[in-house]
């Protein structure tokens, strides 16, 4: 048995020596991932980043407690007629003051049962006449401006500026001309006793709406229906 072990060990020595002298096989090159796999890996990494829970580094209650709200800066703007609120203290001013001294707030504060009484009709007549006077005055000033600017200006830039100003002024006067027609119609409705009531439904238009638009002949609901009809059918 000893001789067999020696012979087997002698036989293994040449095999081991041959294995030691045999060159090692080159390492297998790493397989390059495909573009699709790369995109999937990037998407998975981005998803993990966006869904990862964020651990606060401070106590949120401390920040909330230390925060002091700064007062908002608001500009002081005089309320228009459309946003005036009824003032009970003015409810009887229409009985004490002449129409010339009444204000929009006084008219708005009048009781509902006094809607379109003689005082309100006189107030709106005065308001419409003043508006008519202002429009006619502006039209006269525009005529004077056009007459004064008939002198030829040599500089093309100055001449273009003057022409643009004239065009803008004429467009404004055209809008006022259309408004002047509505003023005449509103004054006629005062004379006929129809002023202040919707020409479609017969319902009161409301003092607030008339103060904001004295030429209004429709209630807000009727005006909205008309505008919707015009938008749908182009009438």
Q: Is 165 left (phi over 0), alpha (psi -120 to 50) or beta?
A: alpha
Domains and CATH numbers, the chain: 116-195 (1.20.120.910), 197-235 (no CATH)
Structure tokens at 182: 């509505």
| DSSP assignments along 136-202, one per residue | HHHHHHHHHHHHHTTSPPS-HHHHHHHHHHHHHHHHHHHHHHHHHHHHHHHHHHHHHT-TTB-TTT-
CA 14 to chain centre: 94
Cα distance between residue 74 and residue 95, in whole Å: 36
DSSP for residue 54: P
Tens of pLDDT, residue by residue, the chain (235 residues): 445 444 444 544 554 444 445 555 555 555 555 555 666 666 666 555 544 444 444 444 443 333 333 344 333 333 444 467 889 999 999 999 999 999 999 999 999 999 999 999 999 999 999 999 998 888 777 666 666 655 666 677 766 777 777 777 778 777 888 899 999 999 999 999 999 999 999 999 999 999 999 999 999 999 999 999 888 887 5
């Amino acid at each position: 048995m000893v001789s067999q072990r020696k012979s087997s060990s002698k036989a293994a020595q040449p095999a081991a020596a041959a294995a030691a002298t045999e060159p090692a096989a080159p390492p297998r090159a790493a397989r390059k991932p495909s573009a699709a796999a790369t995109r999937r890996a990037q998407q998975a990494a981005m998803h993990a980043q966006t869904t990862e829970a964020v651990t606060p580094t401070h106590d949120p209650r401390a920040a909330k407690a230390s925060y002091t709200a700064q007062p908002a800066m608001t500009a002081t703007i005089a309320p228009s007629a459309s946003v005036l609120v009824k003032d009970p203290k003015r409810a009887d001013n229409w009985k004490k003051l002449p129409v010339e001294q009444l204000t929009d707030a006084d008219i708005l504060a009048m009781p509902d049962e006094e809607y379109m009484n003689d005082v309100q009709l006189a107030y709106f007549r005065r308001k419409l006449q003043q508006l008519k006077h202002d429009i006619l005055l502006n039209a006269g000033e525009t005529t004077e401006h056009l007459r004064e600017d008939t002198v030829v200006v040599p500089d093309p830039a100055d001449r273009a500026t003057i022409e643009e100003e004239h065009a803008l002024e004429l467009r404004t006067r055209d809008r006022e001309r259309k408004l002047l027609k509505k003023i005449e119609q509103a004054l006629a409705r005062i004379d006929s006793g129809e002023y202040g009531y919707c020409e479609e439904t017969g319902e009161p238009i409301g003092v607030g709406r008339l103060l904001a638009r004295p030429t209004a002949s429709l209630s807000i609901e009727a005006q909205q229906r008309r505008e919707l009809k015009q938008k749908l059918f182009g009438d």
